[in-house]
Amino acid sequence: MLFGRKNRKPIVIPKKEVVEWKYSTCNYCSTGCSIELGLNDQGKVVTSRGHAGADVNRGKLCIKGLLEHDLFDSAGRGSQPLMRDKAYESFEPASWDQALDRTAEKIKDIQEKYGRDAFAVVSTGQLMTEEFYTLGKLARGCIGSNNYDGNTTLCMASAVSGYKRSFGSDGPPGCYEDFEYTECFMAFGSNLPEQHPIIYWRLKEAREKRSFPMIVVDPRVTMLAQFADIHLPITPGTDCVLINSMLHVIFSEGLQDQSYIDAHTNGSKELIELVMSDTYDPKVAQHVCGIDEDRIRTVARIYARAGSAMSIWTMGINQSTHGSDGVANINNLNLVTGNIGKPGGTSLSITGQCNAMGTREWSSCSGLPGYRYLENEKDREYIADFWGIDPEFFPKKRGLAQTDIFPAIETGEIKGMWLIATNPMTSMADTARMRKIMEKLDFLVVQDCYEDVETNQFSHVYFPAAVWAEKEGCHTNTERRVNLTRTALQCYGDSKPDLWIFNQLSKRFDNGKVINFPESAEGAFEEMKKLSVGAGRTLDISGMSYDKIERAQGIQWPYTEADAKRDAQLSPEEKPKGASRLYTDGKFQTADGKANLISVDFINNNEQPCQDFPFWLNSGRVVEHFHTRTRTGKVGNCNKFSPTPYMEMNPDAAAELGVVHQQYVRLASRRGDAVVMVQLTHRVPRNMVFIPFHYHDCVNRLTLGLLDPYSRQPAFKQCSVRIEPVDQDEAAALNVQRRAF
């Protein structure tokens, strides 16, 4: 193909020579785009394209998905297991048997000496669902540690907790199709165009067809805020105050949906009592949440009067000391206005990692598979019986959350840990504290596709894992859609699919000889289907199969055997279809079937800007990078857009301090310091700086990460810092070092 002027250095795009396309689902964010990977005649994946028939993305991909095929042989991939006696010593290559034997031996040693819970397992939202289910069997059924959780505590824990408190169960009730019906769209702490570009594209398309108001609550003028009709630049951490004040207006003006409240909710009396108090009168509340009285009233009226209204939220709500309360309060707003389970009326948590949902559903991290609870005797007995083990092997209560596991290492309760697909040395708050915690472990296993991942500096055993399309399995996206990845190519070097690693390790434990561990992902999926059936269970996948999922480019759960029977009549062009929405009949997963309205009072417990540390430190993401850059940092066409750790700073604040554009500065908090380059922008207010969290030894050296009392999720978005000058040459040299991959 030729572009440019003829005869004058035309740009030539080489032909990819694709001979086969393999079906897959993007492994970055939770949008759940269907991807086709193009293979050449050598079996090498040379390109990716969006699947034109997929409901989710309809042929589109964002920059990360378009370049995802560059991952397979990118720098730093682990090609063989590694072992060493002490962290920092040099690693020695090992065989899989040696590395697995050493790991099983060490786990047993630690458990014999200090008890079963002294060995922790911390996983992720980025494996296949079948791998999550298998890891759950291994961790809960064979290793038997109750200190088993995932990085999803940094991400979705508040949404899970809020959904459970309001509706009696986890599971986002809405879907992307709701954009087509809604008459009012409100987003809390979510920057769709950068973090979920294809969901944003669906929203934009809906707004192009039919106009409806868009309200964005975010202290930053994000890309989504720029497109909004109304932007509410909220004071950090005070969303609960804004929502209570909106509820104050709704009840004062009789705008609530009384018949929905009466028929489908409990707790309205207490809620009304709280929100009608003077504290939440917009006249008073405006001084706490920073949104003026008139705006609060306007927004409350628009929302409540709309025929259908929907709210979405992401990390601006979840990553807060009021994360779970914030979610419950968004649910309150939607219940009070009758906006649950109807087209365009919903409370939709936009999830984060590609398979954050899969881990919630099947990993057993917070309980037992298929949204079952350790606290429920029947659930324990059912799963023990299904796996063929003694129910007494299970604890009767959930153990520590991921964010409590690290402090338990600090205090010496936990001696060993296995990290699977997570990089806490970059992603956890307070890096200096994390370093000490890692150093204290007697035994650490790191299982990652990349051996140069920072946390691996502290490990004793390294398991090289395959990346997503080197294996097979499912992801569940934000709208409960289960989608498939087919194996596109062989594993890199001697790396192995996570499923294989879990299966091999299970053979080294007594219960592993009793419990069945299917060798294939599809075998595990068939087992999960059996566990998903049951009267009144929302998470029912029993009607699905790999072939059907691929044919439909993803199916939303619940999708029952009865649905499958119905769809057996479809012509080959028609797609099997699951449930678009939950709770359409107003029946919730609580004892009496009614949703709970939860009164959420506000206590201001964040670290606030003060004389010594005068700026709010906010952190988040940019479109071209994913998380700790283990992947996008290696993809040149992603990394080139922002290879350098930087912060957004308001030009007026910069002028006051004599700071100029692209200068390096040192930031200091009560925990530590970090050097970044300054990008002047009016995106942030005068008293705030924003740093993308993708860089190692950067923003999380500064963060505090106070925990939410219900979800144990850290408040990554709120703490305070000061800005200091730094030697420009030294800073530049440091940056070159940090950039080098």
Ligand X SMILES: Nc1nc2c(c(=O)[nH]1)N[C@H]1C(S)=C(S)[C@@H](COP(=O)(O)OP(=O)(O)OC[C@H]3O[C@@H](n4cnc5c(=O)[nH]c(N)nc54)[C@H](O)[C@@H]3O)O[C@H]1N2
What is the contact surface with ligand SF4 in residues (CB under 6 A)? 26, 28-29, 31-33, 57, 61-62, 64-65, 196-198
Nearest CA-CA partner of 128 in 388, 494, 506, 518: 518
Kindly state the smallest distance separating residue 266's Cβ from ligand X, in Å.
27
Give the ranges where 211-257 is alpha helix by DSSP (H): 223-227, 239-252
Kindly state the smallest distance separating residue 629's Cβ from ligand SF4, in Å.
14
**Which of 339, 599, 628, 720 touches ligand X (CB under 6 A)?**
628
Of the two residues 154 and 501, which places its CB atom closer to Mo ion in the complex? 154
Question: Does 185 contact ligand X by CB under 6 A?
Answer: no
559 neighbors 540 (Cβ within 8 angstroms): yes
**Residue entry with tokens 């962290």:** 87
**Which of 160, 420, 649, 674 touches ligand X (CB under 6 A)?**
420
Instruction: Count other Cβ atoms within 10 Å, centred on residue 255.
Output: 18
Kindly state the smallest distance separating residue 58's Cβ from ligand SF4, in Å.
11
User: Residue 33 touches which of ligand X, ligand SF4, Mo ion, none (CB < 5 to 8 A by kind)?
Assistant: ligand SF4
Please report the DSSP string for 405-435 in residue order: HHHHHHTTS--EEEEES--HHHHSS-HHHHH
User: Residue 597 touches which of ligand SF4, Mo ion, ligand X, none (CB < 5 to 8 A by kind)?
Assistant: none
Residues in touch with Mo ion (CB under 5 A): 155, 352
Report the residue number whose CB is nearest to ligand SF4: 65
Of the two residues 352 and 370, which places its CB atom closer to ligand SF4 in the complex? 352
Which span (98-106, 417-425, 504-512, 520-528) binds ligand X, by CB under 6 A?
Answer: 417-425
Q: Measured on CA atoms in the order 14, 20, 26, 27, is the torsion positive or negative?
A: negative
Of the two residues 274 and 622, which places its CB atom closer to ligand SF4 in the complex? 622
The partner residues of 688 in beta bridges, in order of sequence, read 616
User: Residue 234 touches which of ligand SF4, ligand X, Mo ion, none (CB < 5 to 8 A by kind)?
Assistant: ligand X
Question: Does 189 contact ligand X by CB under 6 A?
Answer: yes
3-state helix, strand, coil in the chain (%, to 5): 40, 20, 45
CA distances to 11, 12, 14 from 5, in Å: 9, 12, 17
User: Residue 26 touches which of ligand X, Mo ion, ligand SF4, none (CB < 5 to 8 A by kind)?
Assistant: ligand SF4
Nearest CA-CA partner of 731 in 658, 649, 676, 686: 676
Question: Does 423 contact ligand X by CB under 6 A?
Answer: yes
Kindly state the smallest distance separating residue 199's Cβ from ligand SF4, in Å.
7
559, with CB counted inside 10 A (0-12, 13-18, 19+), is buried
Question: Does 699 contact ligand X by CB under 6 A?
Answer: yes
User: Residue 364 touches which of Mo ion, ligand X, ligand SF4, none (CB < 5 to 8 A by kind)?
Assistant: none
**Which of 154, 241, 491, 528 touches ligand X (CB under 6 A)?**
154
Give the ranges where 601-718 is alpha helix by DSSP (H): 636-639, 651-657
Question: Does 498 contact ligand X by CB under 6 A?
Answer: yes
Instruction: Count other Cβ atoms within 10 Å, centred on residue 287.
Output: 11
C-alpha 60, offset from chain centre: 21
List phi, psi (to 5°) of 82: -130, 150
Of the two residues 32 and 323, which places its CB atom closer to ligand SF4 in the complex? 32
Write the interaction track for ligand X spanning residues 438-477; mark x where CB under 6 A is met and - where it is not: ---------xxxx--x-----------x-xx---------
Nearest CA-CA partner of 123 in 108, 107, 140, 106: 140
d(CA 731, CA 493): 37
Of the two residues 188 and 387, which places its CB atom closer to ligand X in the complex? 188
Question: Does 124 contact ligand X by CB under 6 A?
Answer: yes
Of the two residues 37 and 128, which places its CB atom closer to Mo ion in the complex? 128
Please name the helix (run of DSSP H) or strand (run of DSSP E) that holds residue 265, with its range, or none: strand 265-266
Of the two residues 61 and 449, which places its CB atom closer to ligand SF4 in the complex? 61
Of the two residues 196 and 231, which places its CB atom closer to ligand SF4 in the complex? 196
User: Residue 144 touches which of ligand SF4, Mo ion, ligand X, none (CB < 5 to 8 A by kind)?
Assistant: none
d(CA 539, CA 122): 24
User: Residue 65 touches which of Mo ion, ligand X, ligand SF4, none (CB < 5 to 8 A by kind)?
Assistant: ligand SF4
What does the block give as tokens for 642?
């922002």
What does the block give as tokens for 330?
């968004």
Nearest CA-CA partner of 649 in 691, 611, 693: 691
Question: Does 422 contact ligand X by CB under 6 A?
Answer: yes
Kindly state the smallest distance separating residue 98's Cβ from ligand X, in Å.
19
User: Residue 465 touches which of ligand X, ligand SF4, Mo ion, none (CB < 5 to 8 A by kind)?
Assistant: ligand X
Question: Does 329 contact ligand X by CB under 6 A?
Answer: no
**Which of 188, 251, 462, 559 touches ligand X (CB under 6 A)?**
188
Kindly state the smallest distance separating residue 565's Cβ from ligand SF4, in Å.
31
User: Residue 647 touches which of Mo ion, ligand X, ligand SF4, none (CB < 5 to 8 A by kind)?
Assistant: none
Kindly state the smallest distance separating residue 356's Cβ from ligand X, in Å.
7
Kindly state the smallest distance separating residue 352's Cβ from Mo ion, in Å.
3
Question: Does 623 contact ligand X by CB under 6 A?
Answer: yes
**Which of 111, 483, 596, 630 touches ligand X (CB under 6 A)?**
630
Q: Return the SS3 of 39.
A: strand
Of the two residues 554 and 620, which places its CB atom closer to ligand X in the complex? 620
Q: Return the SS3 of 311.
A: strand
d(CA 418, CA 232): 42
Give the contacts of 175 (CB within 8 A, at least 6 positions apart): 346, 348, 479, 480, 556, 580, 581
Question: Does 353 contact ligand X by CB under 6 A?
Answer: yes
CA distances to 125, 286, 470, 546 from 484, in Å: 16, 47, 13, 7
**Which of 594, 621, 696, 722 touches ligand X (CB under 6 A)?**
621
User: Residue 418 touches which of ligand SF4, ligand X, Mo ion, none (CB < 5 to 8 A by kind)?
Assistant: none
68 neighbors 48 (Cβ within 8 angstroms): yes
32 neighbors 56 (Cβ within 8 angstroms): yes
The 3-state secondary structure of 470-503 reads HCCEEEECCCCEEEEECCCCCCCCCCECHHHHHH
Of the two residues 61 and 203, which places its CB atom closer to ligand SF4 in the complex? 61
CA distances to 257, 338, 359, 366 from 518, in Å: 50, 45, 19, 23
Binding site for ligand X (CB under 6 A): 29, 124, 126-127, 151, 154-155, 188-191, 194-196, 217-220, 222, 234, 236-237, 239, 314-316, 319-320, 352-353, 420-424, 427, 447-450, 453, 465, 467-468, 498, 618-621, 623, 625-628, 630-631, 693, 699-700, 703, 716-717
